Chains A and B, each alone.
Chain A
Amino acid sequence: AQSVTQLDSQVPVFEEAPVELRCNYSSSVSVYLFWYVQYPNQGLQLLLKYLSGSTLVKGINGFEAEFNKSQTSFHLRKPSVHISDTAEYFCAVSDLGSGGGADGLTFGKGTHLIIQP
């Protein structure tokens, strides 16, 4: 079984300031990691994913995340946020990397990013 912990339910940040959204996971097998963004009353949009290779992953809208296997973390960062980044952000994990045949994602509970002018 795997689980995802998003350490902050809400993060307020001033516009143009940097932000880090924290995500830790637990799994007994090799995992793939994802960050999704959800704008109000919409579905989820993929920001970035880590499958293998370089531990620093760049995504859309200027976001990036770093996979740290020893700390089982996959924190999301952006150097300068904009009002339009206000949304709910979800970290998710999949054990697709283990080749076990199951599918689907295990999500954290989400972090609400609030950008203050």
Chain B
Amino acid sequence: NAGVTQTPKFQVLKTGQSMTLQCAQDMNHEYMSWYRQDPGMGLRLIHYSVGAGITDQGEVPNGYNVSRSTTEDFPLRLLSAAPSQTSVYFCASRGQGYGYTFGSGTRLTVV
């Protein structure tokens, strides 16, 4: 099925560990973005990309890195995980029609 695929669905990390959250879309969308969802906070934009090779920071970028080497993939890297990064992470993509398609999320716990 066409859409946005996020892996893994669940992850537990120890403080200081690194990991990469994967996001792939098969709709040939130019625009992709990462959000974190915390209770009572809604979703907040971490990083976004307007095309392969072009990324920029959102509202809460600290502690996260991104790159966009292909149109399909937009991985989110945590270099040194902290308990404050415990959250549910969503990846989204859109084409020219402005309707963002969201993945099903990655639930990350940092202990």
Chains A and B come from one and the same complex:
yes
In chain B, what residue has the closest Cβ to A9? B40
A32 to B35, CA, bound (A): 18
Within 8 A of B (CB), among A12-45: 32, 34, 36, 42-45
Residue of B nearest to A1 (CB): B59
Q: Is the CB of A90 within 8 A of B98?
A: no
Q: How large is the interface on A (under 10, 10 to 19, 20 to 34, 35 or more residues)?
A: 20 to 34
Given A105-B43, A107-B42, are A44 and B102 also a contact pair (CB < 8 Å)? yes
Write the nearest CB–CB distance from A64 to chain B, whole angstroms.
16
A117 at the interface (CB under 8 A from B): no
Q: Which residues of B contact A (CB under 8 A)?
A: 4, 31, 33, 35, 40-45, 48-50, 56, 58-59, 90, 92, 94, 98-105
A109 touches B41 (CB 8 A): yes
Of A4, A34, A103, A110, which one neighbours B33 at CB under 8 angstroms? A103
Report the minimum CB–CB distance from A77 to chain B (whole Å).
Answer: 20
* The one of A44, A92, A104 that contacts B48, using a Cβ cutoff of 8 Å: A104
B58 lies within 8 A of A42 (CB): no
* CA of A110 to CA of B41, assembled, Å: 8
Decide yes or no: A109 and B90 within 8 Å by CB, A32-B98, A49-B99, A104-B33 being known contacts. no
- Docked Cα-Cα span, A34 to B42, in Å, equals 14
- Which of B44, B50, B100 is within 8 Å of A101, CB to CB? B50
Question: Chain A residues near B50 (CB, 8 Å)?
Answer: 101, 103
Determine if A83 is an interface residue (Cβ-Cβ < 8 Å). Answer: no
Contact check, A90 vs B43: say whether CB atoms are below 8 A apart. yes
Residues of A near B94 (CB, < 8 A) are 103
CA of A36 to CA of B10, assembled, Å:
23
Distance A115 CA – B20 CA, assembled complex (angstroms): 38
User: 16 pairs across A/B with beta carbons < 8 Å?
Assistant: A9-B40, A32-B98, A34-B100, A42-B105, A43-B103, A49-B98, A49-B99, A94-B98, A101-B50, A103-B48, A104-B35, A105-B33, A105-B92, A107-B43, A107-B44, A110-B42
